[in-house]
Amino acid sequence: MQVPICWQPAQVVDGSAKNIHQICAQVIVNPRVGLVWCCEKAKGGKTVRWRRYPRRWKYSIKYLRRVPESPVKMMSQRGNLTGNPRQVRDLAAELHSLVQQWNLQHLSGVQLLKSMTAYIRFNVEEEDETSSRHLQAYCDQLEDIYKSLGNIVVCMETVTRQLKLIAELESLRRSNNSPMFLTWPAIKFGDVASCVSEAYSMECKVKKHVKENIAHSKSKEALMFLMAAWVHQCYIEPEVEVGLEALLHETGLR
């Protein structure tokens, strides 16, 4: 089984190798080898030495070659950031964290709805006190999940407002059109965050509809429709995910 190409600067492998080009090692899993052989080359292309380094995973080097310089080195903002770039990067990380929290709550809701729909289908004829208590317990759990999702959306909107305020500050400094990191102007970060928060806000309204109607649905078709509406998240389109991923790459978080 092959592992993706691993880009590793020689300077990171060996701090004393200050004049050595970046190298690339394509590795394959080899359980019988516990060391990594690494070739260090000088500027002229001559092999200086081979070294072996222990690794948590057991690899063997297939071949080595030079690679072009990483675009991260060309960033105008890198290292320990300050001012608006630092705030933008922190807000991008917070937005990504909120999306991860949403995904966890969404999956919890999926599991709960599976149990809830199964319970309703098998107890559709029963209207005793015990059945009502069980159904109410499911509804209370779903309500808690919905409230968590609503709080996440509120936090996303707060992040969006802060990014737009930073863009306004940059425009007052007459640097709104210059890239803050790689290629994006300051206003682009707010636009992407706004697109993300609007999509999740619309999806939250769908989940509210599911939460309010699932307990009153008796037919199999209605239950499956509400279940599908929760699971598929139609408002979170691929463009939203691509925009968020581009935001992380632009700020150097990926």
- Whole-angstrom Cα distance, residue 49 to residue 16? 13
Q: What is the predicted pLDDT for the residue at 253?
A: 85
More confident position, 186 or 83 = 186
For the stretch 46-97, pLDDT in tens is 544 445 444 443 333 333 344 444 455 555 555 566 678 889 999 999 999 9
For the stretch 145-172, pLDDT in tens is 999 999 999 999 999 999 999 999 888 8
| pLDDT at residue 134 tops 50 | yes
Question: Which amino acid is residue 134, in one-letter code?
Answer: H
- The confidence band for 112, taking pLDDT boundaries of 50, 70 and 90, is very high
For the stretch 203-254, pLDDT in tens is 999 999 999 999 988 888 999 999 999 999 999 999 999 999 999 998 888 8
Query: Global pTM?
Result: 0.68
| DSSP label of 8 | E
- Whole-angstrom Cα distance, residue 129 to residue 236? 39
CB of 1 within 8 A of CB of 29? yes
CA within 13 Å, CB half, 1? 3
- Whole-angstrom Cα distance, residue 103 to residue 254? 19
- List domains and CATH numbers for the chain: 6-68 (no CATH), 83-250 (1.20.1050)
